[in-house]
Chains A and B, each alone.
Chain A
């Protein structure tokens, strides 16, 4: 079996399986924990409204905090949206997904995808530099932060290399690209990348708590 067949075959099946099982395990590991009943008299019982409000309000920093954090928010949005565009709107990716699940959708022009990929890489590099340069984030950072960064940027870099037919035989580079994405899938459930799901739960939980207490947010 050559590398590309391996990447498209057993490696893909295993990594997808680990991804789904891992994510479910970690989510349910938290969801199934004890929920204590709160007997205090609530100011408001529209907890769902508070949860949704919490989700929306925190899309952008409060005015008071903007000077300190708005740069990180902008960089964060650039690479998150960039990743979503590259992953879900590159025509070969859509065909790849359609092959597996049978559903496809319209893609974006290749040149647009390449530029988006390059911008995403730039934003990710800037985030890494900020992380290392700032004494606070440098102190907070551990292996998870750096490795998660690596497995996020690697598929974008190898993808651009494959598209540019650069860095060796196309089949090899493509295989490395697919394997790098599979590494992301395998690492995902064990890492901070789980915030993809947890941010909804966490913001919603606090939003509901604020609503219950009547804290104006």
Chain B
């Protein structure tokens, strides 16, 4: 019997061969004594502790309201999936190590030391069952920004080597190759050329000078390459000086999602340096949710000073172009609904832009209940889509989204996040659904008026 068998014994009694207690699979990276793992996790969690995070840690009254706002809890009914519970060991670490009463808790041993077993259990809660969508903040009577705290907990988990393997592996690959899904600079360049030929559109790559630097998400480069053609069509239509750059194109940031701040910085700095190198006045972020948060709201903090260029999400850019008349479109005679990517709308503030775009296209927009601020996350963000262990719950959770969309009666679903789209595609297949989410950018590019 090998190691795998003893760890995950086969269940031969049930109808179909399966592994007993598959939920007990915890991933670890690197060799480290247990004690050191826990210490590292806690130290790296409290390392970034400033006034804001401490305020949140001090404010929770254990009312449990956040459970009702969380799609994971609503789908599973498991009280462990209550958002604030996902931070329990970290709350203890804060109280014991960093809070104003730390000496008191420590001296009297009022909060027990967190164990490695607890952290292993919490790996599921910190990574598999949180998309950092931030809906819980809205229901919280104290407005605690739990998503940010989960992000900080991931810093601790990464340094302690307690990241789900798939997420760790894509993050490591992104750091090494420049892109998490194999879209190396060479691959990127090839695919731009391919799309340019295929769609007969003029592409600009590695221009020395350009007003606009366009970035992409690796999901688009690899899975939805038409987005690159769509981007080029719109920018050419506007007659702008623009470029893709092979030294700064990847907008996804798996450093941030997995919890490695150094990698997060590396990934952001590539785009920042590329924009500075070509003298760009504007950097356009692609249809990707977390890429927006990573560069629009954290980029300057990685850079250490204000960015010398504007950063806009593609939906904001399109909305402004349509409003100013720089982009002219034909009318679209369809009924549509729009799925808000959490990091762009609720946590990013660019909620109005896609509505402006759909308005300019003359589409019959049928909003979902709670669209915008209150929108339900599709369940694929925050790296969750990469973690296979999380598939069952993710599929179950998606029913909330399907019901929301069906209730609108709209013909098409649009969004401005390729990660959401990938999750929609996966769920479409799983649920044999007749719908999936389409790209807002593609819709504009397909309906440009000559």
Tell me whether A137 is interfacial, beta carbon within 8 Å. yes
Decide if A202 touches B59 in the complex (CB within 8 Å): yes
Decide if A62 touches B64 in the complex (CB within 8 Å): no
Task: Give the complex CA separation of A33 and B140 in angstroms.
Answer: 24
A137 touches which one: B64, B100, B140, B369 (CB < 8 A)?
Answer: B64
The residue of chain B having its C-beta at the shortest distance from the C-beta of A44 within the complex is B349
- Which stretch in B10-18, B158-166, B195-203, B370-378 binds the other chain? B370-378
A141 touches which one: B62, B139, B142, B348 (CB < 8 A)?
Answer: B62
Decide if A203 touches B143 in the complex (CB within 8 Å): yes
Decide if B301 touches A65 in the complex (CB within 8 Å): no
B63 touches which one: A29, A41, A62, A72 (CB < 8 A)?
Answer: A72
Tell me whether A195 is interfacial, beta carbon within 8 Å. yes
Interface centre among A54, A62, A139, A194 (most CB of B within 10 A): A139
Tell me whether A2 is interfacial, beta carbon within 8 Å. no
B85 touches which one: A25, A139, A202, A213 (CB < 8 A)?
Answer: A139
Decide if B80 touches A202 in the complex (CB within 8 Å): no
CB neighbors of B among A9-39 (8 A): 25-26, 28-36, 38-39
- Which stretch in A82-90, A95-103, A105-113, A204-212 binds the other chain? A204-212
Decide if B139 touches A199 in the complex (CB within 8 Å): no
Decide if A215 touches B306 in the complex (CB within 8 Å): no
Tell me whether A8 is interfacial, beta carbon within 8 Å. no
Interface of A is mostly: helix
The residue of chain A having its C-beta at the shortest distance from the C-beta of B111 within the complex is A142
CB neighbors of A among B71-90 (8 A): 73, 79-80, 82, 84-85
Decide if B370 touches A33 in the complex (CB within 8 Å): no
Tell me whether A169 is interfacial, beta carbon within 8 Å. no
B138 touches which one: A29, A33, A62, A139 (CB < 8 A)?
Answer: A62
Taking CB atoms, residues of chain B closer than 8 Å to A29 are 99-101
Decide if A33 touches B51 in the complex (CB within 8 Å): yes
B142 touches which one: A28, A135, A199 (CB < 8 A)?
Answer: A199
Interface centre among A39, A61, A142 (most CB of B within 10 A): A39
Taking CB atoms, residues of chain A closer than 8 Å to B297 are 40, 213
Smallest beta-carbon distance A151→chain B, Å = 15
Task: Give the complex CA separation of A73 and B67 in angstroms.
Answer: 15
Given the known inter-chain contacts A34-B50, A40-B301, please indicate yes or no for A26 contacting B100, CB distance below 8 A.
Answer: yes
Tell me whether A172 is interfacial, beta carbon within 8 Å. no
CB neighbors of A among B359-375 (8 A): 369-370, 372-374
Task: Give the complex CA separation of A209 and B51 in angstroms.
Answer: 13
B296 touches which one: A35, A40, A73 (CB < 8 A)?
Answer: A40
The residue of chain B having its C-beta at the shortest distance from the C-beta of A127 within the complex is B63
Given the known inter-chain contacts A33-B50, A62-B139, A68-B68, please indicate yes or no for A41 contacting B372, CB distance below 8 A.
Answer: no
* A61-B65, A65-B65, A198-B142 given; 9 more Cβ-contact pairs under 8 Å: A33-B54, A39-B306, A41-B311, A62-B138, A134-B64, A137-B63, A198-B55, A201-B59, A205-B56
Spell out B's residues near A (CB within 8 Å): 49-52, 54-56, 58-65, 67-69, 73, 79-80, 82, 84-85, 99-101, 104, 137-145, 296-301, 303-307, 310-311, 346-352, 369-370, 372-374
Task: List 5 contacting pairs A-B, 8 Å CB cutoff, sorted by A.
Answer: A32-B51, A35-B50, A40-B297, A69-B139, A139-B79
